[in-house]
Structure 1
Amino acid sequence: MSDQEAPSAKPAIFLTVVGLLTIVGMVAMPLLAGEPDGQTATQWVRYLGRYHFIILHLPIGMLSLVILMELGKLFRSEKGSSTLVPAFFTAVSAVVAVVVGFLLYQSGDDNSELIQNHMWWGIGFASATIVAFCVKNWVDLAGGKGGFVYFLSLLASAGVMTVASHDGGESVHGKGYLRKEEPPALREWINQLPGAEKLPIEEDGSSDEPAEGSGATQEPVGVPLEEQVVYTHLIQPIFDQKCVSCHGEDKQKGKLRMDTYELTLAGGKEGDGFEPGNAEDSNIVYRIHLPLDDDEHMPPEDKKQMEDHEIAVLEWWINAGASPDLKVVDAEMPAEVKEAVSKLVPPEVAAAEAAAATSAQEEEAKAREALAAEVEKLQEVFPSALNFESQQSSGVTFTAVSMRKNFGDEELAKLAPLAPALVSVDLSATQVTDAGLLSLADASKLKMLRLSETQVTDAALEAVAGMVALESLNLYGTKVTNEGVLKLVDLPNLKRLYLWQTAVDAAGADAVRAKMPDCEVILGVEVGGE
């Protein structure tokens, strides 16, 4: 008989039995409790269930720690710390997360298939961590033999955790959330994987299609007014944008679906969705008007809210009978409702606007790239004077404030290749003359031009008159006259014209104002002396 007795197997047996009973209990919970019913759920159930969103992170972090500790042992010669204790807390926290998650499920807010899958995968994850902990007990009892089995059980736990977390994330953010912003190359590769959903590949890698099962409708583009149906073309698009993410095919908070007329009318656990002819007593409208911080408010506080004009159209439609077939041309709309309808953006228009914005951004990026070499070259000539307007813009700004007496027509001519891209130019107190301004003749995007205290005269205004995008022009301290500034009256976007200390008098300024009522003509001190 050895001096040191072998460790007793009783603790390992006890913990294994407790672990197996815990697994059986978790599996039995949803089977014995039945379908969730928010009406019978107590306030404590609803309250404690909300802690699921906090506790669920604990087992994820603990499991990650255990795996990292085990991996660390592979690179160390001496025996590392045992992971038995962190494995125990991983299992315990996973079980607690399952219990409070089940309470949240029993509150009845959402019993969709996605949530049920998340629940069962969550139970599977907690069960896997219990198995891993039990295996670790037996491995330690055997003096480390079977460590590979323990490591495999940890990897299995991580795999189940990944699936459970994915379903949980989609229940919050919507189906397909992770793949919405895939780069094109990655999406193409994932599409080729067995069983992967084949998503369309756009230039930006995103899909213009709604997530599968989202309930979002795709109406034909350009439906003539006489063929538009109030529900189909006005009401359902509002629901798609503001309601279906929580009340669609994949997720039904409060057992309510709003992706079709019939399902919306049928309502959920709180009764009918709406009462035709009575918007005030309709459940949907009632919840829309609840305070924003009320738990029953729709949409939830963290979601995009309904606009006033959307609510006005919805209430009018319900009060008018909530017909699914009423055409726009047959509807008797009050003036205020017609105005509200005019503010609605049809899905096809919104999609077209989004596509146009994306296209514009791409064109802007291409234009910026084409200008980059020329801008870089001129930045060496005019340090700190030439820059892009912003990180995304292809517009170029220039200021000669640091050069003034050393900047004249010859220097300005060097900017001619960039003239079409210039949006702001400050030539204040430089030696630029009328002839030099011809270098900016192609500045069709120029919005701001400062010529204060330069030698320009009426002759220079011929070139300025062609700068159709010009919004602000400063001629302070120049030699322009009443006759010359009249050359500017056809500039369509000019909003401010500075004429202080020029030959332009009050009569000349009034003449410009008469022809350009939307332009602010500033004579400085002279205006105050009138």
Structure 2
Amino acid sequence: MKWNRIRWQNAGNQFLFAANIFILVLFIAGSHLTVPAWLQVLGRMHPLVLHFPIVLLLLGSLLLFVQLREPEASRWKNRFTELLLLTAALTTAVTVIMGLLLAREGGYTDNGSLLWHKWGGVAVLWAASALYWLRAAAKPWLPKAGALVTVVLLLLTGHYGADITHGNNFVLAPVTPRNTAVPLDKALVYEHLVKPLLEEKCMNCHNAGKAKGGLSMELPQQLLAGGKSGKLFVAGNPAVSLLMERLHLPADDKKHMPPAGKPQLTEDEVALLYYWIKGGADFKTAVATLPARDSLYLLAAQRLQPAASEAPVYNFSAADDKLVQQLSNNYRVVYPIALHAAPLVANWYNKDKFDIKSVSELLPVKEQLIEMHLQKMPVKDADLEVVAQFKQLRVLNLSFTNITGQTLAALGKLPHLQRLSLSGTPVTLQQLTALKAAPALKELYVWNTGMSPADLQQAQKVFPKATVVKGFTNDKGEQLKLNQPIVLNPVAVFQHSLQLKMQHPVRGTEIRYTTDGSTPDSLHSPVFKDSLLITGNTVVRAIACKQGWYASDPIQLSFSKTTYTPDSILLRNPGEGSYIANGSRSLTDGQKGGTDHNNGKWLGYTKNGLEAIVQFPQPVPLKAVTISALRNTGAYIFLPHQVEIWGGNDPRHLKLLKKVTPPADKKDDPVTTLDIDCDFPLTQVSYLKIMMTQATLPPWHPGKGNRAWLFVDELLFN
């Protein structure tokens, strides 16, 4: 049977040549050409058709290496290979054209993997075209070499295409060495928890080569910049963060992230992003600095578990969840070391409420309790017999308790005790040797005890398998910096007068202060004695000083006087999101919120303004209302656009007493709290209506045009 060349093969050959020229022009022209909408539809079909040329090229390349003995069969094979290679080259051309059209859409950046993928696609087309045109070359090795080159180019181009679709190094990830597990005490929240999560679930669509919606997540500055829809998150406020909003949309919503068909985030992964944003979305926070009961810490402990071979093995089952919850109260907290983990930790607070009964009450969970933190509690020597009943203990903190060391032998019976802290107790070396019976002891904290430097050196010899922590010794005479004074007053707002009390934990430290706004110094500023009488609005600045130490950073305290306390305050709109504070009570509780908008003391509004109805028990003569507000432009918190004070004796017939428009916030304004003073002629009032409206984010702000947040925390009258 004779195989004759037919017309469409000639037409295909000519079309292939024309397609190469067209693709070269399209590739060089780049973004200078305007593509109509119907061609964009064609471009989006690129992922649908790219598999056809791949299969055809691989099959055609394979057939070039197949040799048949029968002449007729060999002719059929050659003709079939010829048609196969032509079809493969033509479909490759169509696929490349679709890909170049798709790359012109928004969300793709012409660098990195995308650039290499485009070059690879064009190279595959040229190789496929050459393979077809050189199929019958006089030198048999030429088409075979071209087949090998084509296959290699296919693999490389496919690799970069997978990087665009699924994230960097998607193909080689299973065989690429990964970073070893990071210990919990050395891990960073973003680097070792948030970033790996984003790489796994988000960066396949939001990377340097494929930044959908103008958003790339590879670098912190890109996360902060956000995308076309605005800022990705508001630090400290996940409730209004776009990231959390998209994650919580219904799965069939077109804006839900990740899109349907992509791997979705688990509940714990969503919680990780939520608590990271709620904690300020800091990129350098260490896991070890988080409180032990913090939700983010518990999630980190769960995700950063050591490898199975290194993980501690607990041969006990979990305690009943309800029982664990019942064992916590205002002075004692019991919680698992990680989410859904069996081992428990117990912390005690308020030494005035402590007795050994609060320890024995935990005996129902003695098989699960592995850590006890009793530091600064009045634990006595006799109490250690009760503690010794908790055989699963790994960590025991008895620092600055009332033990003298006479009954330490009881702790030597604990088979799993690894870390024991006795700092701040009068324990001697002889008493410490009673712990030699503890088989698992690895760390022993004995700084500031009754042992001399020589005893501490001897203690390390007595416990050769344990690390004896002696604490800081200033052998080189280095000067250290004092921490700031501690303020003991619970409120910053008063009616008649206030006795300011401050102290410092380091003995022999002086506190020097000023009340005129100047910076205190260690020589000329007054020395703070036992207390300082405050009778009016006062700003106190103070430092801690001691010979041989660097003075502390200054602390600034603002105290405000209010003449009248209202009987009640009705909020027309409660606070929004997580900024609800204590409702209306937070406006007159004497607690200033400070510059931390996440401390639970601020009322926050963004959708509705603040409208408060204030009622006094009897008519009072008012001439001023002062409102404490917060400004933090980076967190979208601006001063109010306008404040109105209405007053009178009938809540239905109030008159406007004052309207104030604070100056607009500027780009470089610092984070601070400000008092908005509203003065008006002396007026007898029983009712006040205070109205505050939000500012609109200015053109220089990333969220321009949207409503800013309004934060309020205290109202002062006269």
TM-score, normalised with respect to structure 1: 0.47
TM-score (normalised: structure 2): 0.36
Higher helix share: 1
Give the strand-richer structure, 1 or 2.
2
